[in-house]
Amino acid sequence: MRDSQSNRKRLLALLGAAHSLNHSLFLIAPPLLLTIMQDLETSKLVLGIVGTLSSMIYGFGSLVGGPLSDRMSEAKIITVCLALAGASTFLLLFANNIFVYGLALFLIAAWASLYHPTANSLISREFQGQMAEAMGIHGVGGTVGIMFTPVIAFSIGVTFGWRVSFIVFGVLSIVLAVLFLRNRFQIVRSRSKVRILDVFRIKGLWIILIFNIAIGFYMKGVEYFLPTYLTLKPFQAMDENSAKFWAAVAATLVLAAGVPGQWLGGRSSDRVGSKKVLIATSVGVLSALLFLQFTPFSFLGVSLFVVLYGLAFYAHQPALNSLTGIMTPIERRGVVYGIFFFTSFGLGSISQAIAGYVMDTFGVDPSFYVLTAFAAIALVLSFFIPDHRENQTERR
């Protein structure tokens, strides 16, 4: 790849846009969940199971994308995943039952799953010395785009139908794939074979892996059911359409708070170390969930949650991604990022089925008590994370 600053900026800009659309495909359903449930004549539990299975595919696919990124052009992998994930949304035009809906989501998830380990590996290789900051900027680019997804998806869905919401974002993904195809980014990489089992011999990686699973367990449940929780609890006094709309707005504002969160997380990690940032963000996430559920005035509780959760959750991402890169030999980073993405988005997606079951069986409040417990576990684990910094770690 050319060593010019403009080329690196263009690469980071395209990755930010790809990051945005990759996540947007999974943020369309939550604000429209009740509408989809009524249209397909299904339950929250079934939709939770579909969400869990598609997220697990999203996670499992990263175990393929990671090793691929260690062996071939990252740009080609990203082009393929954008184009085919976008094309898969067209299957939803024929989704008149939960089975076709589930098949479409599974295909979207399978192709989209190649993105994260590929992009993180590429950034860790190309932005050494400022890895956390580059991870943060990549996150900002993605979050700036996806923070509008819930409201846009809701607005399109109630006007033209929920299926059209998916199609619009699918078309945008295909367009971006064409842009990647026109820009050839190359990078020199090791040709040595890396086995997944070798990764687990890296000292200190186990505790970060377990911490990452705990994050996935609260993150996926909150992401999927937050609009439903807000509609049925803090906004329950409103009429149904108004409640759904303001729930979508709140989900968008969480993402908006994540924009400065990504930047602050990256900058702070390069300066004070990732461990301190991860402890602070874990405290912030747990506090946000407690404010949401137990603040007497619902408006105040929702406001505190939106700001604190958005800042804290998104600030942890560049900190954790850069720490993982620092601790991993460069020729194994694709595999490692694939494993880490699988544990958070794959294994963590089990919480969607758990939250859906608890919500259907015991009510809305107990489902979020469970998610809060996962956040508390993540906080405890954050104190045991190794304290490594890029400028103190020998290049490997």
Distances (CA, A) of 51 to 26, 46, 228, 350: 9, 9, 14, 9
Distance CA 240, CA 232 (A): 9
Residue given tokens 């690469």 in the structure block: 11
The pLDDT value recorded for residue 394 is 38
The CATH class that applies to domain 5-392 reads mainly alpha
Contacts of residue 179, defined as CB under 8 A and 6 or more positions apart, other chains included, come to 14
Which range in 88-97, 116-125, 280-289 is most confidently predicted, on average pLDDT? 280-289
Tokens of 395: 């290049």
DSSP E strands in the chain: the ranges are none
Per the CB < 8 A criterion, the answer to whether 60 and 141 are in contact is: no
Give the start-to-end residue ranges of the domains of the chain: 5-392
Contacts of residue 327, defined as CB under 8 A and 6 or more positions apart, other chains included, come to 202, 203, 204, 205, 208, 386, 388, 393
What global pTM score does this model have? Answer: 0.73
Residue type, 187: I
* Residue 340 clears pLDDT 60, i.e. is over it: yes
- pLDDT tens-place string over residues 189-237: 544 455 556 666 677 788 888 999 999 899 988 987 898 899 888 888 7
Name the pLDDT band for 310 (thresholds 50, 70, 90).
Answer: very high
Distance CA 367, CA 370 (A): 5
